[in-house]
Structure 1
C-alpha cells in the first residue's frame, strides 16, 4: 500500500480538477485506516456522480479503487452532476437542490459517533447552499479522522449559482480542514 502524503489524523481536504487522483487518494486513505484500525466506526459518504464527458469518466465512486468494507457504514448518493446534466442554470440549481436534500438524508441516517469519515466529492452536497457546509464539517468533527475530497476548478463553469456556491463551500472547507492537499 503506497504511503499517504498526509497523516491519518484530524481533518484533511483533498482538492483539484477532474481526473487528478482525488478519489484514488481518498480510497488509499480509507484502505490505510481500515488496515490499521479495522472498519468499526468507519463512515463512507459517496456523493460523487459518475459522468462521462468526451469519452472520459469524470468523478466516480471510491469503489472504482477499493472495496468499502461490509462493516463500514456506506451512504451512497445517487447524485446528479448539475452543470453537466442540465440544459439551463435553473435546472442546474434544481439538480443541486435535489442532491443537497438527498445528502442531508444520508447524513441523518449515518451513525451518530463515527471514528473515521471519508467523503467522496463533498461539494456535490453543498452546491445548492454553501451554508450547509457547517452541517457536514460538524459531523466530521465527531470522528478522530476525516478525509474529504472536492472538485476545485473552473472547468465546469464559474459564473453560475452552482459554481458560486461550490466555491463558497470550498472556502469554508479549506478554512475548516487541518490540512489541504492540492492535486493537479
Structure 2
C-alpha cells in the first residue's frame, strides 16, 4: 500500500497500468470523506476497463470504494482508444468522444468544489490537450485535488493519442503541488 497523499493542495499520481493509481485515489477519497463528509466532494471517473492478456487493466474508483450519493460523481463510459482503434484516425475519434463526455461531466460538476478526485485524467485529454487547463482550473477551486493519470510507453509512443497524452501529462506535472510516481 502506498503512503497516503496529503489532503490539501494538488496531487498527481502517475504510473503504468495496474500500478495502484486508482487505489491510491480511492484511499484519498475515503480519507477525505471520513474527515470532511461528502458535501462539496467531486469525483470525476474517466477510466475505461480493458482486458489485455487475460488481465483487467484500469477501471473505476468504485472497484475500491463507494462514492456517496451526496458527492458529485461524473462518470464517463470511456473508450480505450489505443486498444479499440485500428488506425490513428479511429483512435483519435474514440479519444474525441472521451474528451467530449469528460467535458460534459466537468461542466455539470458543482461550481464550488471542496475536494476533487479524478481517476484517469488523461483519458479526457488524449484527443485535445486544450481541456487540460479547464480541468486544472476546476481542481484549483478546491482545497484538495487528487488526480491520477497513466504514464508509460507500454501502449505505444508513435501515435497521436500518445503524443497528446504526453503533452497533457507535462502540463499536469507542472501544475501539481506534488507528483507521486508509482512503479
> Residues 174 and 17 of structure 1: is their aligned pair in 2 closer, same or farther, counting only changes over 3 Å?
same
Asked if the contact 2:12/2:176 (under 8 Å) is kept, the reply is yes
Asked if the contact 1:48/1:77 (under 8 Å) is kept, the reply is yes
Asked if the contact 1:4/1:28 (under 8 Å) is kept, the reply is no
> Residues 125 and 3 of structure 1: is their aligned pair in 2 closer, same or farther, counting only changes over 3 Å?
closer
Distance 2:84 2:39 in 1: 36
User: Deviation string for 1:97-143 (max 9, x for gaps)?
Assistant: 11101111111100100000000000000001112200000000110
Distance 1:34 1:94 in 2: 36
The match for 2:138 is 139
CA positional deviation for 1:174: 0.2
The match for 2:6 is 7
Asked if the contact 1:126/1:133 (under 8 Å) is kept, the reply is yes
Alpha carbon RMSD of aligned pairs, Å? 1.0
Distance 1:81 1:28 in 2: 24
CA positional deviation for 1:3: 7.8
**Runs of at least 5 residues in structure 2 that lack an aligned partner in the other structure:** none
Count of paired positions: 183
The match for 1:181 is 180
**Secondary structure at 1:130's aligned position in 2?**
coil
CA positional deviation for 1:86: 1.1
Distance 1:39 1:6 in 2: 18
The match for 1:160 is 159
Distance 1:25 1:6 in 2: 8
Distance 1:122 1:78 in 2: 13
Alignment of 1:34-183 (within 5 A): 34-183=33-182
CA positional deviation for 1:4: 3.9
After the TM superposition, which segments of 4 or more aligned residues of structure 1 sit over 4 Å from their partners? none
**Runs of at least 5 residues in structure 1 that lack an aligned partner in the other structure:** none
TM-score, normalized by length of structure 1? 0.97
Distance 1:36 1:183 in 2: 25
Distance 1:169 1:48 in 2: 16
Distance 1:91 1:81 in 2: 11
**Secondary structure at 1:52's aligned position in 2?**
strand
Asked if the contact 1:9/1:145 (under 8 Å) is kept, the reply is yes
Distance 2:3 2:38 in 1: 18
